[in-house]
Amino acid sequence: MQHFKMYINGNWVESKKKEHIDVKNPSNGSVFASIPRATQEDVEDAVNAARTAFRSEKWRSIKPHERGDILFAIADKIKADRDELARLESMDVGKPLSQAYADVDAAIRYFRFYGGAADKVMGDTIPIEDGLLDYVVREPLGVTAHIVPWNYPLQIISRSVAAAIAMGNTVVVKSAEDTPMTAMRLTEFFDALDLPAGVFNHITGFGYEAGAALSAHPLINHVTFTGSVGTGIEVGKAAMENVVPSTLELGGKSPNIVFSDCDLEKTVEGVVRAIVQNAGQTCSAGARLLIEESFKNVFLQKVIEKFEGLTVGAGLDDKDLGPILNEKQYNHVLSLIEQAKKEASVVAGGNPITVKGCEDGLYVQPTIIDEVSRDSKLAQEEIFGPVLTVFTFVGESEALDLANSTDYGLVTGIWTQDISRAHYLASRIDSGQVFINNYGAGGGVQMPFGGYKKSGIGREKGWIALYNYTQIKNVAVKYN
């Protein structure tokens, strides 16, 4: 077992109180590392270090293309350490190793994408009148806070930190206490670069302590948070107390809408992959299956057969599904499955699993629940496990009504060969992303990601995310 330290102002440090948090491998329940439990004083140190670095002439003098070079260098380090990072992500989160490799590759692409963008964000000139030159520039905000969830730690750190640094900000990362390992490795990469102390800081600890102190700190200029709606509301309130912006990605209850004219095999594959990836512990998981009523029996039977053939096991064994992350989430998933057994029909799975050699791991069968009431908790709230709820519709109007019937609006899949129907639905669905005859599009780093309604505020990924980390200044020059 290895003990790690936090990284503040270019130094590896313990928490002020010298308290630690154990890190478990959810595949087998073993403790394999420990991290500092940061206090409010530790957060204070990290934010002050970032603030000092942001105001330093050394950081200000680094040219935009040189910031891009920093991000390219991190991408190269991630690529060189690809195997170890994938192994750490798989051990830490419990996700299948092949999925962890995909996360590492996405992280490389984020740093390369934003590295290439660093010197390409332009201002504007505005025609006012003769003798007046008016121009607009985008300037960095200052110190940005990045509060990272436990399900995709490497990807989510990469997509926001790379964009923030590209625009000239300094950052404080708070990694999830359950899954800090790839954040630690990424921190080592930043430490190896010749950066001004305080440009990149990494604190560890509980969300209700370190995360809350970070989001409420008066010297933070922007907060990026991914997590639950309840916590996101508190983060947003804390940011607004200091009148600073926040980008909040808060989850979903995303539908796959399946019409009878779809490509059967490809649609089944897409629907199953959308819910079982990372054992369903994905904010954008396709958790609701909406099937055209006349096609239900044929399609659902195919999905059931696919579910029954899925394998479950330790992350490093690279089965189709790994474990649920922790006991709290495991009990939550099982309690909702038990509710389903009373009020709906469980047609596949529905039970916990014991994996040989990993008896202390937290495993659940991939589960399908049919005959769910649209107003049920099962239909309205995130289960955040490998659980698919099934509904039927007749016609486009009912499909649209069902798709929009939750408080979320993150992702939607539409499966049909009728392109007019697909575009019609896409234009009316309350969803930040709509995929037609696919789901996820390979997780493209270029595509803006975020949600309608309670799925969040703002967008991450793509070019538009760069604007999260800038503020606009207008300058008017009068000349003769």
pLDDT value for 236: 97
pTM: 0.96
Structure confidence by residue, pLDDT tens digits, 329-387: 999 999 999 999 999 999 999 999 999 999 999 999 999 999 999 999 999 999 999 99
pLDDT value for 1: 82
Residues 468, 121 contacting (CB under 8 angstroms): no
pLDDT value for 442: 67
Q: For 96-161, give the secondary structure using H, E and C.
A: CHHHHHHHHHHHHHHHHHHHHHCCCCCCEEEEEECCEEEEEEEEECCEEEEECCCCCHHHHHHHHH
User: Would you please indicate which residues are annotated as catalytic (active-site) residues?
Assistant: 249
Judged by average pLDDT, the poorest of 289-303, 396-410, 428-442 is 428-442
Cα 340 from Cα 363, distance rounded (Å)? 18
pLDDT value for 178: 97
> What's the start-to-end Cα distance of the chain, in Å?
71
Residue 324: closest CA among 94, 92, 46: 94
pLDDT value for 18: 95
pLDDT value for 291: 98
When pLDDT is cut at 50, 70 and 90, the band that residue 393 belongs to is very high
Average pLDDT over the chain reads: 97
pLDDT value for 418: 98
Mean pLDDT of 250-264: 97
For residue 247 the two structure tokens come to: 């980008």
Is the confidence at residue 444, as pLDDT, over 90?
no
Structure confidence by residue, pLDDT tens digits, 149-205: 999 999 999 999 999 999 999 999 999 999 999 999 999 999 999 999 999 999 999
- What's the length of the chain? 480
Which amino acid, 462? G
Cα 413 from Cα 404, distance rounded (Å)? 13
Cα 281 from Cα 65, distance rounded (Å)? 37
Output phi, psi for 268, to 5 deg.
-60, -45
CB count in 10 Å sphere of residue 442: 9
Cα 464 from Cα 450, distance rounded (Å)? 11
Structure confidence by residue, pLDDT tens digits, 203-219: 999 999 999 999 999 99
Structure confidence by residue, pLDDT tens digits, 61-119: 999 999 999 999 999 999 999 999 999 999 999 999 999 999 999 999 999 999 999 99
pLDDT value for 220: 98
pLDDT value for 441: 74
In the chain, what are the domains?
A: 2-250+458-476 (3.40.605.10), 255-443 (3.40.309.10)
